[in-house]
């Protein structure tokens, strides 16, 4: 069985006549350490599929397996634990808590994992150094550029040593140069740390760099 696998995933929203199917009968396998790009137009179901793969929402039918365990059957408590320890998200925007410094944002999952404060700070410093923000630990999100905010989100994934990183349009709101920097950072995380990365993007640079590209159209793999 692959590291990450989904079988016949379908996600419907609404009820009766107003039902919208965001993802329809999608089956997909992702190997450990792979860099996969999910591409497709807006509304093709990329974000919903990422949420389903990361147990952020539950499918209407179908199943998701991570390391052979069916995470779609996990209880809310187990899903929270999974999100704290193994799965990380990088969103297009709203990645950070505005009232927390970037160091506090980076180590927030560790706080939920009850990691001791000093250990958290040490870890946070190290990963922020790694993404090039070692000198801005006390800055607040409002003081950062869009690219820097995405770096913090990546650093957060590194801080908790997650082995699956799901990035939803991480370059969507960035200029070309910054978008390339963030893509390169994700590639580096994948290469250096062996983190499995699934990126939802229609950015040609990301699509071009991915080891494998899967295109979604109207909720289905085309």
Partner 1 sequence: MEFLWLPFRNRNRALLTLFGVAIGVFAATMMGAMATHFSRLASRFEQSIKGKIIIRERVGFLSGGIIEESRIKDILGLPGVGDAVGGLVVRLHPKEMIVLGLPDLVVGIPPEKISLLYPHIPILKGRTLRKGDRFSCVVGADIRNEFSLPLSGMLTIGDHPFQVVGFLERGGGQEDRQVWIPLDCAQEIFHRDGLVSHIVVLPREGIDPEILAPEIEKKIKGLDAVTPMRLSRQVRQSIFLWRLITLGTGVLAVIIGGLSLLNTITFTVLEQTAEIGLKKALGASNGDILIEIASDGLVLSSAGGTLGIVSASVFVFFFNQYLQERGMSLFTLTWGLVFGVWILSVVAGAGIALIPAWRASHIDPALAMRGK
Structural contact between residues 62 and 73, judged by C-beta atoms closer than 8 angstroms: no
Q: For the CB of residue 52, give the shortest distance to partner 1 in the complex, in Å.
A: 9
Residue 99 sits in the site that holds partner 1 (CB under 8 A): yes
Residue 6 sits in the site that holds partner 1 (CB under 8 A): no
**Contact flags string 53-92 toward partner 1, x per CB under 8 A:** -x-xx------------------xx--xxxxxx---x-x-
209, 215, 218, 220 alpha-carbon torsion, rounded to 10°? -140
CB-nearer residue toward partner 1: 159 or 186 = 159
| Cα–Cα distance measured from residue 23 to residue 47, given in angstroms and rounded to the nearest whole number | 10
Strand-strand pairing, 4-13 and 61-66? antiparallel
Residues with Cβ within 8 Å of 31's Cβ and at least 6 positions away in sequence, in order, are 2, 3, 196
CB-nearer residue toward partner 1: 76 or 204 = 76
Q: For the CB of residue 31, give the shortest distance to partner 1 in the complex, in Å.
A: 24
Q: Tell which one of 24, 39, 44, 95 touches partner 1 (CB under 8 A).
A: 95
Structural contact between residues 81 and 31, judged by C-beta atoms closer than 8 angstroms: no
Give the binding site for partner 1 (CB under 8 A). Answer: 51, 54, 56-57, 76-77, 80-85, 89, 91, 94-99, 104, 108-109, 112-113, 156, 160
């Amino acid at each position: 069985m692959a590291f990450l696998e989904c079988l016949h995933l379908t996600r419907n929203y609404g009820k009766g006549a107003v039902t919208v199917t965001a993802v329809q009968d999608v089956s997909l396998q992702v190997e450990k350490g792979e860099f996969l790009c999910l591409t497709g137009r807006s509304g093709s179901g990329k974000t919903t599929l990422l949420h389903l793969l990361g147990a952020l929402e539950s499918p209407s039918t179908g199943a998701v397996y991570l390391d052979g365990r069916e995470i779609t059957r996990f209880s809310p408590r187990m899903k929270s634990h999974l999100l704290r320890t193994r799965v990380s998200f990088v969103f297009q925007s709203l990645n950070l808590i505005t009232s927390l410094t970037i160091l506090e944002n980076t180590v927030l999952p560790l706080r939920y994992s009850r990691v001791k404060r000093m250990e958290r700070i040490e870890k946070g410093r190290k990963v922020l150094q790694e993404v090039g923000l070692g000198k801005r630990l006390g800055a607040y999100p409002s003081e950062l550029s869009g690219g820097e905010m995405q770096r913090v989100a990546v650093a957060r994934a590194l801080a908790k040593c997650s082995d699956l990183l799901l990035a939803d349009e991480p370059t969507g709101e960035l200029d070309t140069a910054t978008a390339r920097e963030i893509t390169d950072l994700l590639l580096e995380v994948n290469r250096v740390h062996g983190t499995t990365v699934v990126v939802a993007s229609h950015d040609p640079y990301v699509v071009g760099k991915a080891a494998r590209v899967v295109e979604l159209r109207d909720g289905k793999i085309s």
